[in-house]
Structure 1
Amino acid sequence: MQDCKETRDQREQQIQANRQEIDRRHSEWKMQSIPEYLDWALKDYGQRPLIITDDETVDYCQVAEMSRKIASGLAGRGIRPGERIAMVMANDPMTVPLLFAIWRIGAVAVPINTLYRPDELAFVIGEADCCFLISMDRFGSRNFKNMLDDTLPGWSEGKCETMPNLRGGLVFKRDTPEEFLKELSSSSASYTGTSSNSEDSAVIMFTSGTTGRPKGVEITHDNLLRAAYAGAYHQAFENGRRAIFSLPLYHGFGLVVGLLSGMIVGGSIVPLLKFDPDKILTAIGRHQATYLMAVPTMTIALMDQASKGDYDFTSLTAIHSAAAPTPAWVWEQIRNIFDCDNIITSYGQTEVTATVICTVPGDDLETVAETQGSIVQAGLAGIPEQNGLIAEFKTIDPETGADLPWGMEGELCCRSPMNSKGYFRQPEATEKLFLPGGWIRMGDLGQFRPDGNLFLTGRSKELYKSKGELVSPKELEQILTGHADISQAFFIGMPDDNFGECGCAWIVRSKGSTIGAKEIMNYLKERVAAYKLPRDIWFIEDEDLPKTGTGKVQKAELKKIALAKVQATQKGE
């Protein structure tokens, strides 16, 4: 018993020591852009590795210099501060200096999901009104150059008729990265300084929305830096933390928790292009990674693979698995298989930049399994009036909008210096997102326990998460009802043991149609990313749809019917 107490006391002392070191090095919160922060960090961390792969190691100084060369080439092409540059880059090491280059010239990065199909790519590029597009040539079996040439003919020369504001683009050939640098930096000297400031938009990240198509969330440099600092401070990152992940840098989890938070402590990333359990587990030992990041579906696959081979996990000090509901047995097996007591889970949204709720090192497995953690402690980056917490929370009645007493279940609302600007060029959607006083409606239901930890009780939005990715039922419904043989379509999220949640589609055929599930699935495969595809497709007649007195289809009732069908199938009825 005494040993356990000493272990807890030692852990708490280490947490406080790490946090004090982070605050000591920064001394005060400075309003600055991300490139300015990188340049400031060079004095202490310049020779430290920032990006580590099996093929190369790139230090902080090299990333900074590469970003200046790329920035020079982008500025030479007439790209001005505030203009948007689309990126289709995955986790290639070049993604990091490219991001910093875009920010140096005051432009806004629009990182695009590499799982998107051609129509989705075109929509996002157009919605963000991008002036320039940089795309890797290929990724796995996907040839992005051919895809873009077919979907946006003339894009690279600025002659795309459907996007007149797209003035040009470049193809990044992954086999010859030096050619990319040479093409951008041959015309002029390296770009010095930075043309962005703390309140400028740094990225537009597209997230699924209840109104159908993805919406672009505008996030500032200060939003990102506060999120990065808060993540490092709350979790008490050790000096030089080394994170390994295949989570994409076009998502907040990979970009903020992976890359930017690590920079606060002079850390590095080991980014993998795609999820491969054996390669990730091997890379942990090879590169002595200390911090493993994944979503639960990945974590389960990693545990399965770990039991099949002889891997070295001795360097691991923390495992962060978030973005989907996770059963308690998963956490227990994570701890036992990886021999790692520091298991982290968290909660956040793109609209509030990144993580605002998170467990802390040393939280027991019961807390990790049952809650998302507590409001993130952010030190200098936090709210002084809230003792350095990164956010304030309250719950409201989801129907009336009335404030509820603390600890009562309701719709979660967040007010934070990490709150985004809202949705790019969508004032009506932004107005619905914000409440008076600067509160953002999170769209989730939950309550804070007496110990300060958040317990999520459901979603007030229709969105669901499949394989760690948000899916918008409305978007899929709009696509399906564009098919001549489909009269009505309804998507709902369903519990799934492997993916946390998955999609179920209810279809009302057009009169005389005999379209089947296979045809519908093939139709969707051509138009949406794989994680959006439904697990089940069922057919129903219009008169059998559960409806309200005003004729509105009751999706909650459809979900009950779907659950009953699944249970009956499992029982063999």
Structure 2
Amino acid sequence: MPSQLADFTAILTRWEHEHPDAPALTYAGTTRSWSELARRVRQNAAAQRAAGLVPGDRVAVLDLNHPSCLELTLACAQVGTANAVVNFRLAPPEIVYVVNDAKARVLFVGPEFAAAVAQVREKLPSVEQVIHVGGEADEYEAWLAAHEPDPEVHPAAPDDSFVQLYTSGTTGFPKGAMLTHRSMLAHSANVAVDFHLDGDSRVQVAMPLFHVGGTSYALLAISYGAHIFMLRMPDPAAIAEGLESQRITHTFLVPALLAAITQVPGVAERDFSSLQALSYGASPMPLPVMRACLKLFPGVMHQVYGMTEASGMVTALGPADHDDPAVAHRLVSAGTPIHGVEIEIRDPATGAPVPTGEPGEIWVRGEQLMGGYWGKPDATAAAITPDGWLRSGDGAHMDADGYVYITDRIKDMVISGGENIYPAEIERVLAEHPSIVDVAVIGVPDERWGEVPKAIVVPADGATVDADALIAYCREHLAAFKCPKSVDVLDELPRNLTGKVLKKQLRAPYWEGKERRVV
């Protein structure tokens, strides 16, 4: 069990000794054994130390999925550094913010992002070295090969962070969630109880490694010595082909991907009998997609709800609840807390527990929680109470059987296709446009993505609002997935007596007759 080991370096050493020739990771047709993976991680550790990195330093990765990112994370665990994995969907100004916030000293860049990094290189003062990974300009393999494996292991404390994933906040700027040996090991141990993952498991990692659905899922597999099959991009056809040909037992996907997979030609004729657990979450699952998936993947569907700050999933709705018509109402729930996680519904204003069935805010407690937000003690104190409860910002109620039903987002977050989008980020950009004087961004229903952002604006005196121009303006400053997909114009925004925009009132017409929820 991983919980019996102190850190991920000890786990890697265990599998290297117990199963040196067993497959650890397959990517792009190449499979490396546990002994090969361990050697590369120690070479990475040696290279980090040769570059002058010391415990507490950060490196950063801007790339599509690649084994080097996982090797870096494991080497960081050995050295005492941390890997800040950058969302590759961010716009250049956002990438600059994240890399600078992390104070990354070395930046690893995939070929698709080399040009973007070259354009902003002078804006990254903390970066001492840029290392290109993959493609014709690859420097990573030479960086490793220049060093013999370093056996020295930094004496990691349980609360040392070795991977830092960024999650946006209501201020409009991303925050680095410091995920620790304790939190990641606890997540692995807790998830394995309900998902029956072990050394014989074959785990598909299709989601991006900047997301807990990628990195946490990969570390879950490593915790139990399972064989990882990593995809560079979450391509629906490739995912379906891999599920069959690689005899995958466990995978995590977002509903938008599942919807696309159900439309892959010939998918109904494929053999998915090896699957033991297909987890999905991070955005709403439309009922037509749910029905198609239950037919395509019977008996293995697990709906999960989680967050970066908790290292991954905290609740799950298992196959029994998916397949039993007598409890069909539970399909709109997020399930029950997983092993090792406490969840309570609290009054967001007072922090007091609310009665069963009453709405409130989800509070989470357990060893899975992050060590805090990097460099942001005030934000950490606002998110985690002195007695160890994480305030999720999600509104919900819990029924008498312990099932959590998420109904709203207290922080106004929009979850579109599995990506967290905070209206404040978009509002901050639009507020600078000369044609508008006031703006609010809300989430509205979308058949493909669950929901998408909509901007509701008030024109400046004498100005005419051009919706296409506003959206194009956003694309200059934000990742495309964050940009509003539509713009509505009002004479004024509804506000309460204290001046706060009444977003619930703005959302109401668009969500009438629909179930708004987070999964």
TM-score by length of 2: 0.92
Would you say the 8 A contact 1:118–1:147 is kept in 2? yes
User: Deviation of residue 352 (structure 1)?
Assistant: 1.5
Show the 5 A alignment for 1:64-463: 64-138=38-112, 144-153=113-122, 162-175=123-136, 179-186=139-146, 188-195=147-154, 196-256=156-216, 258-305=217-264, 307=266, 310-338=269-297, 340-360=298-318, 362-365=320-323, 366=328, 369-377=331-339, 390-406=340-356, 408-463=358-413
Residue 547 (str. 1) matches residue 495 (str. 2): yes
CA shift in 2, pair 1:91/1:444, >3 Å: same
Q: Within 1, Cα distance between the matches of 2:222 and 2:451?
A: 33
Matched position secondary structure for 2:24: strand
Q: Within 2, Cα distance between the matches of 1:519 and 1:133?
A: 34
Residue 468 (str. 1) matches residue 418 (str. 2): yes
Matched position secondary structure for 1:174: coil
Q: Which amino acid aligns with 1:148?
A: V
Q: Within 1, Cα distance between the matches of 2:320 and 2:18?
A: 30
Q: Within 2, Cα distance between the matches of 1:482 and 1:65?
A: 51
Q: Within 2, Cα distance between the matches of 1:98 and 1:39?
A: 16
CA shift in 2, pair 1:533/1:403, >3 Å: same
Post-superposition Cα deviations, 1:325-362, rounded to whole Å, max 9, x if no partner, equal: 22444333212123x31210111111122111113454
Q: Within 2, Cα distance between the matches of 1:364 and 1:558?
A: 33
Matched position secondary structure for 2:485: strand
User: Deviation of residue 310 (structure 1)?
Assistant: 4.3
CA shift in 2, pair 1:114/1:278, >3 Å: same
CA shift in 2, pair 1:488/1:407, >3 Å: closer
Q: Which amino acid aligns with 2:215?
A: L
User: Deviation of residue 175 (structure 1)?
Assistant: 4.7
Q: Which amino acid aligns with 1:318?
A: A
User: Deviation of residue 536 (structure 1)?
Assistant: 1.4
User: Deviation of residue 39 (structure 1)?
Assistant: 0.9
Matched position secondary structure for 1:456: strand
Matched position secondary structure for 1:209: coil
Q: Within 2, Cα distance between the matches of 1:391 and 1:314?
A: 31
CA shift in 2, pair 1:184/1:239, >3 Å: closer
Matched position secondary structure for 1:113: coil
Post-superposition Cα deviations, 1:25-69, rounded to whole Å, max 9, x if no partner, equal: 56xx43522122111222333322222234211222111111111
User: Deviation of residue 406 (structure 1)?
Assistant: 5.0
User: Deviation of residue 246 (structure 1)?
Assistant: 2.2
Show the 5 A alignment for 1:474-513: 474-513=424-463
TM-score by length of 1: 0.84
User: Deviation of residue 83 (structure 1)?
Assistant: 0.5
Q: Any unmatched runs of 5+ in structure 2?
A: 515-519
Deviates more, 1:115-124 or 1:504-513: 504-513
Q: Within 2, Cα distance between the matches of 1:311 and 1:103?
A: 39
CA shift in 2, pair 1:260/1:306, >3 Å: farther
Residue 529 (str. 1) matches residue 489 (str. 2): no
Q: Within 1, Cα distance between the matches of 2:141 and 2:28?
A: 21
Matched position secondary structure for 2:263: helix
Q: Within 2, Cα distance between the matches of 1:298 and 1:84?
A: 32
Q: Within 1, Cα distance between the matches of 2:467 and 2:18?
A: 59
Q: Within 1, Cα distance between the matches of 2:205 and 2:144?
A: 29
Q: Within 1, Cα distance between the matches of 2:184 and 2:498?
A: 45
Would you say the 8 A contact 2:13–2:38 is kept in 1? yes
Q: Which amino acid aligns with 1:350?
A: T
CA shift in 2, pair 1:297/1:70, >3 Å: same
Q: Which amino acid aligns with 1:227?
A: H
CA shift in 2, pair 1:181/1:432, >3 Å: same
Give the RMSD, CA atoms, in angstroms: 2.2
Q: Which amino acid aligns with 2:239?
A: I
Would you say the 8 A contact 2:171–2:425 is kept in 1? yes
Would you say the 8 A contact 1:108–1:201 is kept in 2? yes
Post-superposition Cα deviations, 1:496-549, rounded to whole Å, max 9, x if no partner, equal: 2221111110122333333411111111122222221222111222xx322223
Q: Which amino acid aligns with 2:308?
A: T
Matched position secondary structure for 2:4: coil
Residue 36 (str. 1) matches residue 10 (str. 2): yes
Would you say the 8 A contact 2:356–2:399 is kept in 1? no
CA shift in 2, pair 1:307/1:184, >3 Å: closer
Q: Within 1, Cα distance between the matches of 2:271 and 2:429?
A: 46
Q: Within 2, Cα distance between the matches of 1:45 and 1:448?
A: 44
Q: Within 2, Cα distance between the matches of 1:352 and 1:70?
A: 28
Q: Which amino acid aligns with 1:277?
A: P
User: Deviation of residue 316 (structure 1)?
Assistant: 2.1
Q: Any unmatched runs of 5+ in structure 1?
A: 1-24, 139-143, 154-161, 378-389, 567-573
Q: Which amino acid aligns with 1:291?
A: H
CA shift in 2, pair 1:309/1:364, >3 Å: closer
Q: Within 2, Cα distance between the matches of 1:363 and 1:419?
A: 27
The structure 1 segments of at least 4 consecutive aligned residues displaced by more than 4 Å after TM superposition are 306-310, 561-564
Larger Rg: 1
Matched position secondary structure for 2:396: strand
CA shift in 2, pair 1:528/1:435, >3 Å: same
